């Protein structure tokens, strides 16, 4: 079960925001019955990359044995 403030992992690319499968975000709001979530994705310095409404299929919980990875974010055309 995913709850507010849980870290989550993106299950697919969202090119319009420069996000790729495996990027980690934080749930800032959970809608009724966990049907959808507001998820914030940030840079290592804390700048918001995107705040998106995503459904349960778009994200998954972080696994306890997973290793975090850092990547340079591609610039997104405005």
pTM: 0.91
Report if residue 27 sits inside a domain: yes
Report if residue 12 sits inside a domain: yes
Tell me which residue range forms the domain holding 38.
7-61
In which band, very low, low, confident or very high, does the pLDDT at 78 lie, cut at 50, 70 and 90?
Answer: low
Report if residue 78 sits inside a domain: no
Cα–Cα dist 9/16, whole Å: 17
Report if residue 70 sits inside a domain: no
The whole-number pLDDT of residue 56 equals 95
Report if residue 73 sits inside a domain: no
Report if residue 15 sits inside a domain: yes
The whole-number pLDDT of residue 77 equals 67
Report if residue 43 sits inside a domain: yes
Cα–Cα dist 48/71, whole Å: 15
The structural domain count of the chain equals 1
């Amino acid at each position: 079960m995913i709850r507010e403030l849980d870290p989550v992992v993106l299950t697919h690319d969202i090119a319009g925001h420069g996000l790729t499968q495996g990027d980690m975000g934080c749930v800032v709001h959970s809608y009724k019955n966990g049907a959808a979530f507001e998820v914030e994705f940030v840079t290592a310095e804390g700048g918001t990359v995107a705040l998106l409404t995503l459904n349960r299929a778009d994200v998954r919980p972080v696994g306890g044995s997973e290793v975090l990875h850092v990547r340079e974010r591609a610039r997104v055309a405005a």
